[in-house]
Structures are given as structure tokens and as C-alpha cells.
């Protein structure tokens, strides 16, 4: 006959194994949250390095090309045309680098918070987005980042796969819970298990103690519901 280890607390006998499982679960959740935070820190550092390093050097190069073009005699038409093409190419690379940096970690999210970041995101959407954000105070960065990329991925999926004509996004923070509802009027049939970017986002949401539900019946559009606990910044 085996006996489950126990400990006595305040005169009460308490089984140890459930307590150990609870502690291990808490440690696992904390570990997952630290991994998410570390990934966000890395994204932010890369975005900053691109902005302060490569992007600034390219801007300096573009200005130098423009200065050289201005000093080039007008009769050297072929050289002026080449310099003009080089200048245009450098400006195009700068624009592409900015788009990459925004995708890695949008600066507007760090500086302004979730509402302005989502507004900027929807303005660049190839599919019309009806956005309703009610969040009030700033939330922990990990929550804001998760919400931002969730909306970004849902918008991208709607543009690439769902044939949707509109995406409706509602984001509201009440009673220490952030609720996100994303709906499109596309063809449905989305399956996160088939390699969708929503798989990684689901892991992120769950690592933050949240839940995500995806409903996408064929012909019925796609609906994503997310709940994440939040502690507002003071």
C-alpha cells in the first residue's frame, strides 16, 4: 500500500503532489512569459539598430548622391541619369527597410500605444478595416505586442486567403481583461493547424495567460476571439 506524501499546514493535512503540480505549472507559465518578453526585447533591439544604424547610413548616402548630382554639369547627361537612378534606388531601399523595421517591431507601438499603432496598421491594409479600439491607459508591452500582431496577422490572412471585402476589429479593455474580436466576410475555411501564422500567435496569447478561439466555417467568414488578462500601467 502506497501513501501520498503530505504536509501539515495549520493543523490541516495537505497532499503534496497536487501542490507540486501547481508549482510546476506556475513555473512553466512564468518561463513561457519570460520567453515572450525576451523575444519582444530582441525585436525592439533589431528595430532600433535598423533605424539608428543602417537606415541613417542610407539616408546619408542618399543625401551625398543628391549633392553630387547637383554639382554635376548639365552637359554630362549620362552621368546625371546614372546618379539619379542611384539616388532613386537608395530611397527605395530606405522605404523597404522602414517597412521591414515596422514589421519587426513598430516604433509607434512603443511610443504611442496600441490604439495609434492599430490605426496606422489598418491604414496600410489592402482590405478595408473597420476599427474600434477602447483601451484607455497603456497596458504591459507584452500584451500590446500580442494584440498588435494578432490584428496584423488576421488582416494579412484576410487579404491573402479569405477574399474578404471588409475586416471588423473590436479591441476593448475592461475589468482587467483585454478582449479582441476580429471578423471578416470572406470564404472561411481557415485552419490554424495548416501552418497559419495564427499558430505562433496562439502560443503567444496562451503564454500570457490568455485564450484564443478561431471559428471559420466554409462560406461563413472567419471570427477570432481573444481574451488576455492585463494589469494597466500606473
Model pLDDT for residues 146-158, shown as the tens digit of each residue: 899 899 888 888 8
Q: Output the pTM of the full model.
A: 0.64
CATH class of the 112-229 domain in this structure: alpha beta
Chain centre distance of CA 200: 11
* Closest listed residue to residue 190, CA positions, set 142, 146, 153: 153
Distance CA 234, CA 128 (A): 35
pLDDT tens digits, 43-60: 667 777 777 778 888 888
Share of the chain above pLDDT 90, in %: 30
Element holding 12 (H helix, E strand): strand 12-15
Instruction: Give me the mean pLDDT over the 211-230 stretch.
Output: 91
| Whether residue 102 has pLDDT greater than 80 | no
More confident: 86 or 160: 86
Sketch the domain layout of the chain as residue ranges.
Answer: 34-104, 112-229
Amino acid at each position: 500500500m502506497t501513501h501520498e506524501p503530505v504536509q501539515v499546514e495549520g493543523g490541516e493535512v495537505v497532499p503534496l503532489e497536487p501542490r507540486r503540480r501547481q508549482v510546476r505549472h506556475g513555473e512553466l507559465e512564468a518561463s513561457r512569459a519570460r520567453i515572450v518578453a525576451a523575444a519582444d526585447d530582441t525585436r525592439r533591439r533589431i528595430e532600433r539598430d535598423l533605424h539608428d544604424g543602417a537606415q541613417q547610413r542610407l539616408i546619408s548616402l542618399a543625401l551625398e548622391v543628391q549633392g553630387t548630382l547637383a554639382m554635376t554639369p548639365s552637359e554630362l547627361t549620362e552621368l546625371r541619369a546614372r546618379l539619379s537612378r542611384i539616388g532613386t534606388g537608395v530611397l527605395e531601399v530606405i522605404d523597404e527597410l522602414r517597412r521591414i523595421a515596422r514589421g519587426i517591431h513598430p516604433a509607434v507601438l512603443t511610443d504611442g500605444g496600441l490604439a495609434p499603432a492599430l490605426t496606422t496598421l489598418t491604414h496600410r491594409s489592402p482590405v478595408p478595416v473597420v476599427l474600434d479600439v477602447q483601451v484607455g491607459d497603456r497596458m504591459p508591452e507584452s500584451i500590446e505586442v500580442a494584440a498588435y500582431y494578432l490584428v496584423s496577422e488576421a488582416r494579412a490572412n484576410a487579404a491573402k486567403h479569405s477574399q474578404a471585402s471588409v475586416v471588423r476589429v473590436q479591441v476593448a479593455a475592461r475589468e482587467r481583461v483585454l478582449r479582441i474580436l476580429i471578423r471578416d466576410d470572406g470564404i472561411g475555411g481557415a485552419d490554424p493547424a495548416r501552418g497559419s501564422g495564427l499558430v505562433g500567435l496562439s502560443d503567444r496569447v496562451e503564454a500570457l495567460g490568455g485564450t484564443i478561439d478561431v471559428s471559420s466555417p466554409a462560406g461563413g467568414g472567419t471570427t477570432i476571439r481573444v481574451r488576455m488578462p492585463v494589469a494597466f500601467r500606473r
